[in-house]
Amino acid sequence: MIGCGAAGSVFAAYLKKGGADLTLVDRNQKHMDVCRERGLIFVSPDGEELLTGCHTAASACDIEEQDFVILMVKATQTANLIEDLRSCVGENTTIVSLQNGIGNEELLIRCFPAEKILYGFGMIGTELPEPGRCVSKPEKGIVIRFGAAKRSERSELSGKMLEACFNDGGCNAVFEQNIRQFIWKKAISNSGYNTLSALLRMKVGDYLSTEAGLALLKSVWAEGCEVCKAVTGADLWDELMEELPRLKEAFAGYYPSMAQDVLFHQRQTEVQFLNGAIVRYGIETGVPTPVNEALTRMITCIQAGYEKQYQNLS
């Protein structure tokens, strides 16, 4: 598992519970030290447990060839990571991207055979409150979906193996035959609630309980759905609207990942793979995306000037 922040640690915990011989890879040395020496405390709706026996490393360069290499670094880091992967990706390795956003698999296909690549996403609220402790807040139903970049006998076998491991660990995961539509649906949804939470500095449920907040979300989604229809032919609007009540309930008291990046950690975000991707595909297909373009620019300005932002020190 390369990238063991909040989401990567949670996904790793489910796989460990499912029987995986797992190596955690992250540059957060304190987190890795605690996981190696004491174990990873995993908190989920089922309770709290200590998972022991994980190997750890600071870099992909430090591990040997693996059966599966799962990427959970931020999408913005993927291109710079590819060279490091060559030490742990062999002829029989399957590379899995479960990262946020649109286009992660395209970066990987440029460097590795498509039949070796699986990609998808998780619909799980995650937190890493301290080193060695991760929290899972899964939605109801299927919470991880993934599929093959290129269907083959190899990808079918790998996909079913990973699906079984997640499910054996208590995570409802599905290996989909056609993942692309699901990727777009997740990215559009994320581009709304995630980005708006970061900009409004509010938990998802708080701003979605207002008329203005709900209108903002719908405007982001409407543009994303029009772009998706132009790219894939799928109309996702009705599906997204059907899921809105569940989204409001599941993330009511939660700051999603981009809000955590902006508000708590002052990190670079994945906006270019979310709202920014909608804008890029909109340009390619001739679909106007002014709302997503504005949100992308606002987040880009914020993350370029964290040290210049107003702080009330009184």
Contact between residue 68 and residue 11 where contact means Cβ atoms under 8 Å apart: no
Whole-number Å distance between alpha carbons of 185 and 240: 7
Q: What is the pLDDT of residue 313?
A: 59
DSSP state of 63: S
Residue with tokens 């908190």: 43
Q: What is the pLDDT of residue 310?
A: 84
**Exposure of 76 by Cβ count < 10 A (0-12 exposed, 13-18 middle, 19+ buried)?**
middle
Q: What is the pLDDT of residue 123?
A: 85
Q: What is the pLDDT of residue 314?
A: 53
Tell me the pLDDT of the chain (314 aa) as tens digits: 999 999 999 999 999 999 999 999 999 999 999 999 999 999 999 999 999 999 999 999 999 999 999 999 988 888 889 889 988 999 999 999 999 899 899 899 999 999 999 999 998 889 999 999 999 988 777 789 999 999 999 999 999 999 999 999 999 999 999 899 999 999 999 999 999 999 999 999 999 999 999 999 999 999 999 999 999 999 999 999 998 988 888 778 889 989 999 999 999 999 999 999 999 999 999 999 999 999 999 999 999 999 998 876 55
Q: What is the pLDDT of residue 216?
A: 97
DSSP state of 99: -
User: Which residues make up the CATH 1.10.1040.10 domain(s) of the chain?
Assistant: 181-308
User: Which residues make up the CATH 3.40.50.720 domain(s) of the chain?
Assistant: 6-177
CATH number of 6-177: 3.40.50.720
pTM of the model: 0.84
Strands 55-57, 23-25: pairing kind = parallel
Is it true that domain 181-308 has CATH number 1.10.1040.10?
yes
Whole-number Å distance between alpha carbons of 4 and 127: 11
Q: What is the pLDDT of residue 312?
A: 62
